[in-house]
Structure 1
Amino acid sequence: MSRFYELNHISPTHRQSRYFSSWILPSPIFLAYRALLCLYSVLVIIIANALRPDLAGTRFSYFTWLTYWGITFYLLISLAHTFSYWKYGKAWLESWPKWLQLLHGVFYTTITVLPWTVTAVYWAVLFDGFGGQYDAWSNISVHALNAGVAFLEVIIPRTEPMPWVHIPWLIVILGGYLGVAYITKSTQGFYTYSFLDPNSKGSGITAAYCIGILAGTTILFCIVKGLVCLRVWVTEKKLGMNGKLSKKDVSGETEVTEKLNV
């Protein structure tokens, strides 16, 4: 089991505080930055449901909105841990069981990789114009700004490169969504995305779309991991910007570059 956790970067050599501190923003400013991102994400969900309450239930059938809810909850949870790190010098996550630390790591991977899948598929395959101001704002928020949040979460925190063993987690999530999509068709009578309809596109085309999205997401994982590696290399190895730690940090970590297995 210890080997399993080590493969998932859950060990003393992989500081959990990296999720909740930045290489460039001091702890209070980093906390405010996350609070602003979180506030906007929550407002998007509230406004979307308030203006179009008729779609509130069906939104949970769409990968776009499931991903956006994931981003929002990640920001909420990270905001709480970032606050605890700033306030007490130790994030609550650091005292939690290893399996919860593992899930947080997977959570981070999903919100930095899957929004790019959503954005790429929407603008390349599904986009056919905006139906008005609300439609434009809503779609830009969940199909463009979502990727912006993912990019910021790659660049701003001190997170280390995600482990390769997170790829199977992404595959399981994508496979699970296929189940959601076809359950939606069975229970509510519609396909969430037109390319999932084998009667319209043909089973071969539908399978090709699914395989292509899976392959594309794997490639995106590699790109995001590469960006994190590049950020660590530039900021820590080359510039010596090893982190704006909480003044109350109790981990014993100092501003000395850690050795990371990237």
Structure 2
Amino acid sequence: MLSKDKVYALLGYSTPFDKKYTFVSSWILPPVALSCLRILLGSYCFIAIIYSYVWFSGNIDIYHLHDISEPTYTTVIGSSAIGRSFSYFTYLSYYGQGFYFIVTGIHGLFYARTGTTRLHSRFPPFLQVLHSLFYSCVTCFPILVTLTFWCTMYVGPWWTVTFDAWANLSVHLMNTVMALLEITLATTAPLPWTHLPVLMVILSLYLGLAYLTRVTGGFWVYEWLVPYFGWWKIVLHVLGYTVAIILIFAFVRYTIWTRNWLLRRYKREEGAMDAFVAEKLGQEPDSSRSSRMLLSDPEAQRSSEGLWRPPLPVHQSLPRIGARI
């Protein structure tokens, strides 16, 4: 039987947790800017949800949707949509993004001020592992939601009501934009493959929630869940979403890997350039990291007071080289 520590290790946990503070640092933004951006994105998620609830409480919207091999159907949305939203994967994942960005943004502000966070220094290992899994969820599930809606459910014409267009763009497009920002701006390591089964279990649990909603709420969350259309279609949808999350997970993992590879390559090239310039000047090559490189190591982003300061321009750290020596 696997021990707790071995399970944590399988999920990518190491001691100390996140030694280089990759969850709260960026290769291009200082920690304060990254944290403020995350808090802004998280706030947008909750503002969009709250405004949608206010709108639904006093208005009725009509949506025309369809599913693969199924005719177009009409959904009337009013005040009942507020309670029903907790049964839709779209809103659940959007809530998740909002909480992730705000919580991680707050951790980042502490990191910028003190050089560490409660996540790294105080939280028990199981919460640190859950944070790592949380990152995998908020970078993969939004892409699944976006692809599902625009590729299998949207039929057009484009919404004539401004709110309808904005709301759908917020939860079905901005969610992926925010996920891609998190993938590209952070300095995190590639997603561990062992996170993929966890994401698949979460999707399986959601399938149970969808049928529980039918029993308790009396409505189908998605039309393909209706047994009337054939069990084989349900099986095909489950298989399709399984393949989709595998492909999305691989895309996110190797996008992060490519980002880190490019940063390491740029770092080596900058180091070689500094050595070349120092050789021409008759000086010893600087063995320290280049002050002009993109900082993939967040330790280099913090000064002794814990606040990031931009590196000095090259002309302030090296003498000018004349046209001839």
User: Could you tell me the TM-score, scaled by structure 2's length?
Assistant: 0.73
Q: Give aligned-pair identity as a percent.
A: 33
Out of 262, 285, 290, the residue aligned to residue 234 of structure 1 is 262
Match of 2:222 in 1: 193
For 2:137 and 2:31, the matched residues in 1 are separated by 24
**2:220 is aligned with 1:217:** no
Deviations 1:121-140 (A, max 9, x none): 10111112336211111111
Aligned CA distance change for structure 1 residues 90 and 249 (closer, same or farther; 3 Å):
farther
For 2:255 and 2:177, the matched residues in 1 are separated by 14
Out of 30, 35, 40, the residue aligned to residue 31 of structure 1 is 35
Superposed counterparts of 1:102-181, under 5 Å: 102-129=129-156, 130=159, 132-181=161-210
Alpha-carbon offset, residue 41 of structure 1: 1.2
* Structure 2 unaligned residues grouped into runs of 5+: 58-78, 268-292, 307-325
Alpha-carbon offset, residue 84 of structure 1: 1.1
Q: Which runs of 4+ in 1 moved over 4 A?
A: none
Match of 2:316 in 1: none
Match of 1:84 in 2: 110
Match of 1:259 in 2: none
**2:19 is aligned with 1:15:** yes
Aligned CA distance change for structure 1 residues 246 and 51 (closer, same or farther; 3 Å):
farther
For 1:122 and 1:15, the matched residues in 2 are separated by 38
For 2:160 and 2:213, the matched residues in 1 are separated by 25
Q: RMSD of the TM alignment (CA)?
A: 1.7
Q: Which moves more between the two structures, 208-217 or 127-136?
A: 127-136
Match of 2:94 in 1: 68
- Aligned residue pairs total 249
Deviations 1:63-99 (A, max 9, x none): 0000000100111111111111111110110021110
For 1:76 and 1:181, the matched residues in 2 are separated by 28
Alpha-carbon offset, residue 36 of structure 1: 1.8
Kept in 2, the 8 Å contact 1:89–1:247? The answer is no
* Code of the aligned partner of 1:223: F
For 1:118 and 1:30, the matched residues in 2 are separated by 25
* Structure 1 unaligned residues grouped into runs of 5+: 251-262
Alpha-carbon offset, residue 210 of structure 1: 1.2
For 1:154 and 1:172, the matched residues in 2 are separated by 22
Aligned CA distance change for structure 1 residues 246 and 48 (closer, same or farther; 3 Å):
farther
Aligned CA distance change for structure 1 residues 249 and 45 (closer, same or farther; 3 Å):
farther
Secondary structure at 1:56 match in 2: helix
For 2:173 and 2:196, the matched residues in 1 are separated by 23
Alpha-carbon offset, residue 189 of structure 1: 1.6
For 1:120 and 1:249, the matched residues in 2 are separated by 44
Alpha-carbon offset, residue 243 of structure 1: 3.6
Match of 1:94 in 2: 120
Higher relative contact order (CA 8 A, sep 6+): 1
- Structure showing greater Rg: 2
Match of 2:5 in 1: 2
Match of 2:232 in 1: 204
Deviations 1:21-61 (A, max 9, x none): 10110112112211221221121111111111312111001
Kept in 1, the 8 Å contact 2:85–2:91? The answer is yes
Match of 2:282 in 1: none
Kept in 2, the 8 Å contact 1:195–1:209? The answer is yes
Kept in 1, the 8 Å contact 2:35–2:106? The answer is no
User: Could you tell me the TM-score, scaled by structure 1's length?
Assistant: 0.90
Alpha-carbon offset, residue 182 of structure 1: 0.5
